[in-house]
């Protein structure tokens, strides 16, 4: 623990918390300050000028990162008939209906993302208290409630990231892995920010993007100079 504390202290010493860095430099600093032995995720936090309590300002959506996330997801699909076959052929690890609902209710959670066809949402709704808090509940706004299960699965594996503003008006999302090049991370960053900007509610006044910072999972936050 003492050794890790020392490394964290060194990481803090390399970042001026009062400075907002250009995005390339901010991402480079975040990468360089990774001091763990595994390939961490590199994440972004975007502070938006919205009030999540207002329905039209409760930002939620998804974006397919052009350079992917660096992760392989285990996809569970709730479907039946031809759509069940389609899901299996598209590479879904788990496909089912009521049997999967009961399995999850029994404590099984060996999956990362969930997709459901609209006609299955009556059954999937029973899992709201389990999937909701984990951010895995299928939702039309993120493209995970759809009859086009093949496309949904392909997008998830290609680097689709779901996001939702929290109570403090902040969106947290991954940009990839520390092993990614700065150029790839910048491309993913621009895709995410661009998507958020397009979603600005008409009722949001003043600065929409109030602040941005990037960091690794265990690392120090680096402020980004965002120009609207």
DSSP codes, 84-144: HHHHHHTT-SEEESHHHHHHHHTT----SEEEE-GGGHHHHGGGHHHHTTTT----GGGT-
In angstroms, the CA 62 to CA 60 distance is: 7
In angstroms, the CA 97 to CA 124 distance is: 8
Q: What is the pLDDT of residues 35-58, one digit of tens each?
A: 888 889 999 999 999 999 999 999
Alpha-helix residue ranges (DSSP H) falling in the chain: 2-13, 23-32, 82-89, 98-105, 121-124, 128-131, 149-158, 182-198
Q: In the chain, where does the domain assigned CATH 3.30.190.20 lie? A: 19-69+160-224
Q: Which residues pair with 114 in a beta bridge?
A: 76
Pairing outcome for strands 41-48 and 170-177: antiparallel
For residue 6, the 8-state DSSP code is H
Give the torsion sign (CA, 59, 61, 66, 67): positive
Average pLDDT, the chain: 91
Specify the range with the lowest mean pLDDT, choosing from 3-17, 48-62, 153-167.
Answer: 3-17
Task: Check residue 1 and give its pLDDT.
Answer: 40
Task: Check residue 34 and give its pLDDT.
Answer: 84
Find all residues with CB under 8 Å of 217, minimum gap 6, and list them: 36, 40, 41, 43
Pairing outcome for strands 75-78 and 113-116: parallel
Among 3.20.20.80, 3.40.190.120, 1.10.390.10, 3.40.50.790, name the CATH number for the domain at 75-157.
3.40.50.790
Find all residues with CB under 8 Å of 35, minimum gap 6, and list them: 4, 7, 8, 10, 11, 218, 219
Q: What is the pLDDT of residues 53-93, one digit of tens each?
A: 999 999 999 999 999 999 989 999 999 999 999 999 999 99
pTM of the full structure: 0.83
Task: Check residue 63 and give its pLDDT.
Answer: 95
Task: Check residue 196 and give its pLDDT.
Answer: 96
Q: Is the pLDDT of residue 207 over 60?
A: yes
Task: Check residue 138 and give its pLDDT.
Answer: 95
SS3 46: strand
Give the homologous superfamily in CATH for domain 19-69+160-224.
Ribosomal protein L1/L10, rRNA-binding domain (3.30.190.20)
Q: Is the pLDDT of residue 2 over 50?
A: no
Q: In the chain, where does the domain assigned CATH 3.40.50.790 lie? A: 75-157
């Amino acid at each position: 623990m003492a050794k890790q504390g020392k490394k964290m202290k060194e990481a803090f010493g390399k970042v001026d918390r009062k400075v907002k860095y250009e995005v390339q430099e901010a991402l480079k600093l975040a990468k360089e300050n990774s001091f763990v032995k595994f390939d961490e995720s590199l994440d972004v936090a975007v502070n938006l000028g919205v009030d999540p309590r207002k329905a039209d300002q409760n930002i939620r959506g998804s974006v397919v990162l052009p350079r992917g996330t660096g992760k392989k997801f285990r996809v569970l699909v709730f479907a039946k008939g031809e759509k069940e076959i389609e899901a299996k052929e598209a590479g879904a690890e788990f496909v089912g209906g009521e049997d999967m609902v009961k399995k999850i209710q029994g404590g099984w959670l060996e999956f990362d993302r969930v997709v459901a066809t609209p006609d299955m949402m009556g059954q999937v709704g029973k899992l709201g208290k389990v999937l909701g808090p984990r951010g895995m509940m299928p939702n039309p706004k993120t493209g995970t409630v759809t009859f086009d299960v093949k496309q949904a699965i392909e997008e998830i594996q290609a680097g689709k990231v779901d996001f939702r503003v929290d109570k403090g008006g902040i969106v947290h999302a991954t940009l990839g892995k520390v092993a990614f090049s700065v150029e790839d991370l910048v491309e993913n960053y621009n895709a995410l920010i661009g998507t958020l900007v397009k979603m600005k509610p008409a009722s949001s006044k003043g600065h929409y993007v109030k602040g941005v910072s990037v960091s690794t999972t265990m690392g120090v936050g680096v402020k980004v100079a965002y120009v609207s």
